[in-house]
């Protein structure tokens, strides 16, 4: 895939921002990282990763400074007011800003990237939500942080980008019990599977929690990272294949230039 054009998805509801859910296409990496691997935590050549990050940023938000977090599967949100260099990334899973010129980025490979905006207030946010982040309510925590910057819950738009789909996400009964212990209503996000297992709707859970936090416009894109190896990196697919490592794709959002 090296040499292909950088490719990304957008949603009309985030009009008034520069944003994109980038695929794995259009980078310089090869092997299991082919080709737009942006994961600083991978074992890919650092120079390739940096070039891929540059290409991704240039495609979606040229002239902006890319800000990413050291993602730790938490509900911690950072308020960003200036550029944060890659080697100084704070441990967190979401960031918000009202500062033009900053592109908030989230890295994923099955977890859900969430891009958020109140375009009227000029406040944006980005969150990384795997199952741990979903259980910890990283989405609602990001909404709350945006409100502190002047956003209104009723005006916030949230888009849930490419993530592992329910049909690809098998979990055991202990996993189900963990979610239902927090809220018995979470049972609706699981479908019965083979004995001792179920299928988990991560995207549906995130969307419901955002709606409960007062977000009136939640876009669930319904794009399965596991099922399309030509377009998306997937941690679970890599694990099932016994591959040594995996790439990460980038989702980012910035205020207008």
Dump pLDDT digits (tens) for 202-235.
999 999 999 999 999 999 999 999 999 999 999 9
pTM (two decimals):
0.98
**Domain residue ranges of the chain, discontinuous segments joined by +:** 8-164+216-254
How many Cα neighbours within 13 Å face the side chain of 140? 13
- Find out whether 112 and 160 touch, Cβ atoms under 8 Å: yes
Name the DSSP class of 88.
Answer: G
One digit per residue, pLDDT tens: the chain, 257 residues? 344 699 999 999 999 999 999 999 999 999 999 999 999 999 999 999 999 999 999 999 999 999 999 999 999 999 999 999 999 999 999 999 999 999 999 999 999 999 999 999 999 999 999 999 999 999 999 999 999 999 999 999 999 999 999 999 999 999 999 999 999 999 999 999 999 999 999 999 999 999 999 999 999 999 999 999 999 999 999 999 999 999 999 999 999 99
Rounded Cα distance between 24 and 251, Å, is 11
Among 233, 169, 219, smallest CA distance to 22 is for: 233
Q: What are 211's two structure tokens?
A: 């709606």
Residues 6+ apart with CB under 8 A from 108: 128, 161, 162, 163, 225, 233, 248, 249, 251
CATH of domain 8-164+216-254: 3.60.140.10
Q: Rounded to the nearest 5°, which phi and psi values hold at 148?
A: -65, -20
């Amino acid at each position: 895939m090296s040499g292909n054009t950088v490719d990304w998805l957008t949603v009309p509801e985030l009009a008034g921002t520069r944003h994109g859910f980038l695929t794995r296409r259009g980078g310089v990496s090869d092997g299991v990282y082919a080709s737009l691997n942006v994961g600083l935590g991978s074992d890919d050549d650092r120079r390739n990763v940096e070039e891929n990050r540059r290409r991704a940023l240039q495609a979606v938000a040229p002239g902006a400074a890319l800000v990413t977090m050291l993602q730790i599967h938490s509900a911690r949100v950072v308020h960003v007011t200036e550029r944060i260099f890659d080697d100084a990334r704070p441990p967190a899973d979401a960031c918000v800003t009202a500062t033009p010129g900053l592109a908030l980025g989230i890295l994923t490979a099955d977890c859900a990237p969430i891009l958020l905006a109140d375009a009227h207030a000029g406040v944006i946010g980005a969150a990384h939500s795997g199952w741990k982040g979903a259980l910890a309510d990283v989405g609602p925590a990001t909404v709350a942080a945006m409100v502190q910057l002047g956003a209104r819950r009723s005006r916030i738009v949230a888009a849930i980008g490419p993530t592992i789909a329910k049909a690809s996400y098998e979990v055991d009964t202990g996993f189900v019990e963990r979610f239902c212990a927090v809220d018995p209503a979470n049972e609706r996000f699981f479908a019965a599977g083979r004995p001792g297992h179920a299928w988990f709707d991560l995207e549906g859970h995130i969307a419901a929690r955002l709606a409960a936090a007062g977000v009136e416009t939640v876009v669930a894109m319904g794009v399965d990272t596991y099922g399309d190896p030509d377009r998306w990196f997937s941690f679970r697919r890599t694990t099932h294949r016994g591959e040594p490592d995996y790439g990460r794709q980038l989702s980012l959002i910035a205020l207008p230039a």
